[in-house]
Amino acid sequence: MIPEEFKDMRPFEPEELPAAYDSLLADPMFRAVVGMVMPQIPAEALGPMMHGCKSILEFQYTFIRPLLEGVIKKCTTGLTGNFDTLGLSKEKENFTYISNHRDIVLDSGLLDMLLFAQMGLNTVEIAIGDNLLIYPWIKTLVRLNRSFIVTRKGGIREMLQSSIRLSSYMHYVIGEKKAPVWIAQREGRSKDSTDHTQESLLKMFAMGGEGTLAERLIGLNLAPLAISYEYDPCDWLKAMEFQMKRDNPDHKKSQADDLTNMKTGIFGYKGRVHFQTAECMNDFIAALPADLSKNDFYTAIAQEIDRRIYANYLLFPGNFVAIDLLQGGNTYADRYTAEERTTFEQYLAGQLQKIEMPGKDEAFLRTKILEMYANPALNQLNNKN
């Protein structure tokens, strides 16, 4: 029996599915969105198809999997993954995948495709911020996609209570349900792809569970996951946001901006996409000196997660072209061909052309996009030194 305190944040249970389906079917916006992204489903067939799904896994198989298969086919040149470091099996899959964050929707969705569609394992429970739940139907839909809600607004006391509840729920999923979890290493995407783990996230992890700080984190089976996209369809949107914040420090994205980012991220071209796990963090955490201060304890773990993510990036020619274009040299010319350099430069020009804004600073925007592609390679190279 799932504790009552998690009722409003957790994925739906099987007996709750019919009511959730009915609430979606009653929402005109949801039906319109389904009509756009899944036109092959007749409007009159949607209700019976949904009510025919008796579990979240069946719902994901019926509705989410075809959508993701279409995205993989049309918007990538291949999705690959390597999870050998974890020795995954039906009896051993309750890891907390803590990853860098490239795409609002697809990071966890493509992970599900690798685990479920290719390996026959469970889909992950997905941590998703309530700032993205712009409409009631979106909140219902993400809970049908095995998501749990992360509260990101409220006073200090409210946020503390939300963090405790979130941590307790994650420990419940890993320790009691024996199910996998996905969570980004930081709040929101890393706009410049530097990918640093927030120590505050690790502190939240340790609010739940039992035992010492180390035992609480070990209880979550933290597995660093490196996500690599050859191209980020939202790179031009991120660059534009950089300039907007430069020109107006108080600039904040609107709900419409979030929807544009979600749509662009899902349906934009991504090239090759690769997921690679590092070894579980348990041995590293257990070996930390017992006399470390709390701050040093969290810093050591955050830096090791970063190191393992950097080491497991799959780098592409464009990453090294970007470094050379930024630095004005040919230091990494052995990592790409002349044709690959030309292809990346043409891609960069095309992304910059998409940006329409007052006072467009093309040199600044170009630099920001180049940094997004250079930073993963620089982090991996520096990680080896």
Residues 159, 69, single domain; the answer is yes
107 C-beta neighbours (distance < 10 Å), count: 23
Q: What is the DSSP letter of 277?
A: E
pLDDT in 10s for each residue of the chain, 385 residues? 889 999 999 999 999 999 999 999 999 999 999 998 889 999 999 999 999 999 999 999 999 999 999 999 999 999 999 999 999 999 999 999 999 999 988 999 999 999 998 899 999 999 999 888 888 999 999 999 999 999 888 888 889 999 999 999 999 999 999 999 999 999 878 888 899 999 999 999 999 999 999 999 999 999 999 999 999 999 999 999 999 999 999 998 887 888 899 899 999 999 999 999 999 999 999 999 999 999 999 999 999 999 999 999 999 999 999 999 999 999 999 999 999 999 999 999 999 999 999 999 999 999 999 999 999 999 999 987 6
3-state secondary structure of 80: strand
Residues 53, 132, single domain; the answer is yes
Residues 14, 133, single domain; the answer is yes
Residues 221, 334, single domain; the answer is no
Residues 87, 217, single domain; the answer is yes
State the DSSP H helix or E strand holding residue 268, giving kind and residue range, or none if neither.
none
Residues 47, 101, single domain; the answer is yes
Alpha-helix runs per DSSP H in 268-293: 282-286
Residues 163, 52, single domain; the answer is yes
Q: What pTM, to 2 d.p., does this model score?
A: 0.95
Domain count, the chain: 2
Residues 263, 302, single domain; the answer is no
Residues 263, 382, single domain; the answer is yes
Return d(Cα 305, Cα 278) in angstroms, integer.
9
Show the domain range for 288.
Answer: 4-233+268-314
Residues 36, 18, single domain; the answer is yes
136 C-beta neighbours (distance < 10 Å), count: 13
Residues 175, 205, single domain; the answer is yes
Helix axes 17-25, 136-144, angle to 10 degrees: 140
Bridge partners of 183, per DSSP, are 98
Q: Which residues of 11-42 are buried (b: 16+ CB within 10 A; e: fewer)?
A: bbeeeebeebbeebeebeebeeebeebeeebe
Residues 179, 118, single domain; the answer is yes
Return d(Cα 130, Cα 200) in angstroms, integer.
18
Bridge partners of 271, per DSSP, are 76
Q: What is the CATH number of the domain that holds 63?
A: 3.40.1130
